[in-house]
Structure 1
Amino acid sequence: MLRAAKINGKTLSDHEFRNFELSPDQEKTEEERPVQKRSNSDAFKRILKSKILLARLINCAFCWITNSFVYIGLSLSAVSVGGDKYTNFILVALVEIPAYAVTPFFSDRFGRRLSLCVSLLIAGVCCVAFAFIPEDYTTGKLILFLAGKFAITIAFTVVYVFTAELFPTELRHSMLGACSMVGRIGSIIAPQTPLLAEIYKALPFFLFGGISVASGLLILLIPETLNQKLPDTVEEAERLGKQQNT
């Protein structure tokens, strides 16, 4: 601190320096603070015991699986759209840029829940519609494919913020990490979807569309978090939806 003050041309008094000293409670090790450890453990147990938060956690985990499954699945399927596969792959990558740009506008204007729901539904409808377009209509297939990738990119961006705002402060990062970890199931399954095309060519896109629509509708069961105070405790997280109705 003295070196930093010297570089910045500042002088620290003894009183100011004492502000940097740890209090006796802060100097304790983790083993000497069983109360704090118990509080985090109790909070996690209360989430598992709470029907509201447990259902919310399962719903969020399923949404994460859907997002990673569809997002990666569409990225890998870009070369099978028709036309020049290199151009298609570049376009599928570039379409993410405007998607990231408009996500803050939609999530702050219309809310996290509605943005996530609508984007998942659009992605699902585009995937299903893509399966019904004849092979000769390469331009139409490409436009629908890009629209689906655009929508699922928005959904994948919103779900990070939405998940973090749904759980109490003491376990916010833990719940976000748990959902992200479970969501990697979708990442693992997605590379296998091209194999389904050997059974029926449009089957992967029916799968993408069906799971997207299902997840989009299930998201409506979760309360909106826009302009809501972030919950600090499990009890406040349980009242999150009720606060909006009062």
Structure 2
Amino acid sequence: MEKVFSQHFSEADYVSLSTAVSTAYKIVEYWYKVNPSFSNTPTGHDLRPLLINFFVGDQLMKINSPGFSHEFQKNAARNCSHVRLYKGYATITAHFLGGNRTRNRPRSAIYRALLSASNHDIFESDEGDLEYSNQHLYCHLCYAGLTKAKFIILAIPHHSQENIIGKSLVLPNIEANQEKVEDIIEQLDVRVRGLFDEKPSHRAEPTTEIEEIVEKLDFGIRGINNEGQNNKEKGC
């Protein structure tokens, strides 16, 4: 199985993919830490997988390793956009498998049918080896867990999307770079504060309930930045 993956990916590529996922989880963890409206309510809890998926896609798009590129594609219903990551002749889509890995593979989807069809010539032999002749490869980047990734794997879907071919490749568990996470949070802080910069008086006395909510989010994000700065000064 590793032979198939190694034709398209290097060890550095595996690190880049794993780092993107672990960084996304760390960002979401920080967000919930300082925003009780998200962490202490059922509806806020339900949003966590969506935020994880959003930031995973965001971090995958920011991979600057040689050969990687990306694009957005709509699903069949045209009501949701997904990131497709490319490396040479390989295509990757990312998938959340639940907080406790409630699924063993991503659900079948019409918009991924053509991608899966590119794996039509990959077969598992009686000895367990994969017969592989096509230069194109489609992979699932799968992850599970709510507060941190319990695992990160690359899997090759059968062309029918009904199962996974062979053994999945477990990616190394890479710790997210704390400074990078803080930089991303700081960028979010600037964007939120920018909502009020056009009307400075709103920051002193928010005039609407919406502005008050955004103000609280702003302070929550800035609280993360202040905590991170204090840790840096302490040498943590």
Structure with greater helix percent: 1
TM-score band by shorter chain is: under 0.3
Q: Which has the greater radius of gyration?
A: 1
- Normalising by structure 2, we get a TM-score of 0.26
